[in-house]
Amino acid sequence: MPALSLRLRESATAWGFISPSVVIILGLSVVPVIWSFLLSLRADDLVTPGRWVGWDNYHALTRDPGFRTAVRNTLVYAGLYVPLSLVGGLALALALNRRIRLIGLYRTLIFVPFVVSAAAQGVLFSFILDPEFGAANSLLHALGISPQGFLTDPDQALFLLVLVSLWSGVGFCVVIYLAALQDVPPELVESARLDGAGRLRMLWHITLPALTPVSVFLLLWQFITALQVFDLVYVTTKGGPLGSTTVVVYFVWEQAFQMFTAGYGAAAAYVLAVALLLAGAVLHLYRRRHARATGQGAVR
Amino acid sequence: MTAPVALRDASRVPARPGRRAGGRRRLPFSAWHLLLAPLSLGFALPLVWLVLSSVMSNAEINRFPPALWPKEIDLAGYRYVLNNAMFPRWFANSFLVAGTAVLSNLVLGSLGGYAFARMRFAGSRLLLGLMLATMVIPFQLTMIPTFLVMKRLGLIDTLGALIVPSLVTPFAVFLFRQFFLSLPRELEEAAWIDGCSRLRVLYSVVLPLARPALATVAVLTFLTTWNDLTWPLIAINHDTQYTLQLGLTTFQGQHHNEWSAIMAGNVITVLPVLVAFLFAQRTFIQSLTSSGLKG
């Protein structure tokens, strides 16, 4: 059998293997990315024929107070959620990183909220935080504190959404940190202990530096996650009260599927995508530098 | 985290022989329980409250202040949700969508991953690069045109609109590729020389060794498709095609203050994921750490 026909046959088989993935993945990502960009240069309601407006949508975004509010809300949300989930996750992981009775149960209970969908979380906390019938106000009542508006109060809603996200999101950081703590070289810890270093000094000089790559990963990962928050907002507040919880993705969804200004929504989505891409690029560069510095392959 | 330094906790004491993990020796009591028990109960409390309120009567919930513990178990909420609302139908829809996504990601992902890992073909490097690039595209950027593509295909408002985009993800293809690259080639080459086809080699030699990769893809695919709300919200208008997440959300909007029924529906929505998690906890955790730390 000549080599050429073998090569051809292998090529044909390989193409048979990958073609379904290629059609679906490229068809639903590369095509839409280009389409999105073209949409963002048009005034289009997805129903009637649109018209070409060039960069007008992007110009309008910079002057739109609604978009500015959405960006600000998203950054406030991320600015609280990201550091709190990292610090909380690290503290809990350090506390859970020991072999005592029931430790498996503790870990399970702290991680379980992570698998609950954002929609279910939203429905559950709408109930707990219901100003009239919720458990939260009856607890406050028992403590002698006057009832709160919670998600109906523009000053409280966004912060409460951060708290709900932390309830479910901290578990992820705990799991990643716990796995990373297993990789802290025990001989380092042991030699520091023999040198008489106290717990805090060991944490500061050995554990934390060893966890740096994981912390960088989590920082950017949680940031990317936070910029994309939508489901929870949709279920609990619909962006209200008074726009106090309208985040960027909610703004995009509203423009495209409620107001029928799809071109404008696509422009807003492009602004978000560029921000996410930058965060992703930072992570990628850090990993490459770190891999070179530690002489590892490009695995971590 | 400041703990009294005088604490003697088990983790600092080198384990005596015969006290490795899995050994059912009783570990000493530690003062860490005083911190960890209330903390973990605090995390569990909202879920406990979810279950409790689903078996309370509306009368008990709508008192002020509401009861924090049911006097008696009242299943009216569940009866309503299972008989008068469409929850069973939505459950079936969710199951169909998530189940199809899991199966097809395993099949198509392993096929694609194997081709990229072990076969030489024209255009492989370019395709690999393109697929890698698509991993960084956020869904929010593609959701509007994806809606338009589905509309052209006549799939909007059918389960097809939910199934097609989740048939295979670049994540699955890459995870399989990485795993196959880490396997030694000799086994495959032996089967290969015996005249097995590529497909036979993949399904009878390689996949039996790839259980960790299969489990990771299955778990993460199930979790993301079962829990998604954004895409069903965009693609589905008619309530016969709702998934559980979308059904629960609209049900809450339409039944103000019928909290026990809403919470019964919420329990039904969360239960499959919780059961799957409790049964396959180790797999869940390993999936997250392996995919998380290796990016």
CA distance A254 to chain B (A): 11
Measure the CA angle with vertex A280, ends B172 and A162; round to 5°.
95
- Percent of chain A surpassing pLDDT 90: 66
A122 neighbourhood in chain B, CB within 8 Å: 249
Interface of B with A in 182-241 (CB under 8 A): 198, 223, 226-230, 233-234
Mean pLDDT, residues A20-36 taken together: 93
Answer yes or no: do B32 and A98 touch at CB < 8 A. yes
**Per-residue pLDDT at B20 exceeds 60:** no
Q: Looking at chain B, which residue has its C-alpha nearest residue A172? A: B288
Pairwise CB contact (< 8 Å): A36 & B145: yes
Confidence check: pLDDT of B266 > 50: yes
Per-residue pLDDT at A216:
92
pLDDT of residue A180: 93
Q: What was the pLDDT predicted at B293? A: 59
- Calculate the dihedral angle through the C-alpha atoms of A105, A107, A112, A115, rounding to the nearest 10 degrees: -140
Per-residue confidence at A129, pLDDT binned at 50, 70, 90? Answer: very high
Q: According to DSSP H, which parts of chain A are helical? A: 3-27, 30-40, 56-63, 65-96, 103-111, 118-128, 135-142, 157-181, 186-194, 199-202, 208-227, 231-236, 248-257, 262-294
A79-115 pLDDT, tens per residue?
999 999 999 999 999 999 988 889 999 999 999 999 9
Residue B268 has pLDDT above 90, yes or no: yes
User: How far apart, in whole angstroms, are the C-alpha atoms of residue A130 and residue A150?
Assistant: 7
Cα-based angle A171, A177, A182 (whole degrees, multiple of 5) = 130
Quote the CA–CA distance of A136 and A125 in Å, as a whole number: 9
Mean pLDDT over B185-194 rounds to 87
Question: Mind listing the pLDDT tens digit for each residue in A212-246?
Answer: 999 999 999 999 999 999 999 999 999 989 999 99
- Classify residue A134 by burial, with Cβ atoms within 10 Å: 0-12, 13-18, 19+: buried
Q: List CB contacts (< 8 A) between A176 and chain B.
A: 288-289, 292-293
Q: Which residue of A18, A204, A296 to mutate against B (max B Cβ within 10 Å)?
A: A18
Which ranges of chain B does DSSP label H, i.e. alpha helix? 32-54, 58-61, 76-83, 87-118, 124-134, 139-152, 159-163, 170-181, 186-193, 198-200, 211-227, 230-235, 244-254, 259-279, 281-294
- Compute the nearest-CA separation of A33 from chain B (Å): 6
**Distance in angstroms (rounded) separating the CA atoms of residues B266 and B245:** 9
Q: Which residues of B touch A300 (CB under 8 A)?
A: 293-295
Q: Is A260 in contact with A46 (CB distance < 8 Å)?
A: yes
- B87 or B60, which is more confident? B87
Across the range A163-182, mean pLDDT stands at 96
pLDDT single digits (tens) A2-17? 667 878 888 899 999 9
Average pLDDT, chain A: 90
pLDDT digits (tens, 9 = 90+) for B218-228: 999 999 999 99
Please list every residue in chain A whose beta carbon sits closer than 8 Å to the beta carbon of residue B146: 28, 32
Q: pLDDT value at position A97?
A: 92
B contact test, residue of A11, A46, A100 with most B CBs within 10 A: A100
